Structure 1
Amino acid sequence: MRLLTHNMLSSNIKGVTNGFPLLIEAEKFIEKTVDFNPDFLKNMYPKIEWKALVSAATSMGYNQLPEEVEPSMLESEEFLKKFHHALLELHLEEGALICPETGRRFAVIKGIPNMLLHEDEV
């Protein structure tokens, strides 16, 4: 699961008001090379919750993203390459996503998060 996907997931358990961002507990992650596309990154940036991305990348051992981003940074190839690596090349293979409000764990197996709710959580 790419961090791009993680940035768009939240816990939908009944009664949860703050199910985003899901915390990552990584048992195994891998890096997969993806073609660098600066235009894609510039278009995706406004849709990304930056603090959630930084936190997710840090939980997987990647500490190269700045805490805050200014629009001028989107013109820096060095910044875009770091953003690209975190967003598209880091993959959570095994572990869990954890609801920040309830602590409910959603398993990630072979890169696929299981976000199915139990009957009493709907």
Structure 2
Amino acid sequence: MKLITHNMLTSKCLKGVMTGYPLGINATDVKVAEVDFNHEFITRILPKVDWEVLWKAAHDLGHSEGLPQSLDPKFEENEEFLKKAHRVLLEVEVEEGYLICPESGRQFPISKGIPNMLLNEAEVQ
């Protein structure tokens, strides 16, 4: 699971959960897979990303080195920053582990890079 995916996931559909965001990550296997840098994609996606959540996820996985904790309004002009953002968004992948609902503590397994967020009927609102 790439961190760009993590940034969009929520467990809001669980009974009793109001927000369900951001999900915690407990990773047992993290890999970095090189992806071609695409300047246009990164500059267009960054305004849509919750930067603080992305930074915390990268930090929790040990991949936040050189990343600022807040997004600079002029980020488009900083090629070095864009490459670091590209790396954490698209190259850092959680292969095995769990996503954890911040409100209920419910764990969702990540296996072979795929988060399983299927719910039991009793868990659905």
Same fold (TM over 0.5): yes
TM-score by length of 2: 0.94
| 1:19 match: secondary structure | coil
Structure 1 outlier segments of 4+, above 6 Å: none
Q: Distance in 1 between matches of 2:105 and 2:76?
A: 35
- The C-alpha deviation readout for 1:56-114, integer Å capped at 9, x for no partner, is 11111112221111221221111001100000000000000000001000000000000
User: Would you say 1:63 and 2:64 are equivalent positions?
Assistant: yes
**Amino acid of the structure 2 residue aligned with 1:28:** D
In the other structure, the counterpart of 1:121 is 123
Q: Is the 8 A contact 1:26 1:59 kept in 2?
A: no
TM-score by length of 1: 0.96
Q: Is the 8 A contact 1:41 1:80 kept in 2?
A: yes
1:86-101 → structure 2 map (5 Å cutoff)? 86-101=88-103
RMSD: 0.8
- % identical equivalent positions: 52
> What residue ranges of structure 2 are gaps of 5+ in the alignment?
none
> What residue ranges of structure 1 are gaps of 5+ in the alignment?
none
Q: Distance in 2 between matches of 1:57 and 1:42?
A: 19
Q: Distance in 2 between matches of 1:8 and 1:57?
A: 15
| 1:94 match: secondary structure | strand
User: Would you say 1:21 and 2:26 are equivalent positions?
Assistant: no
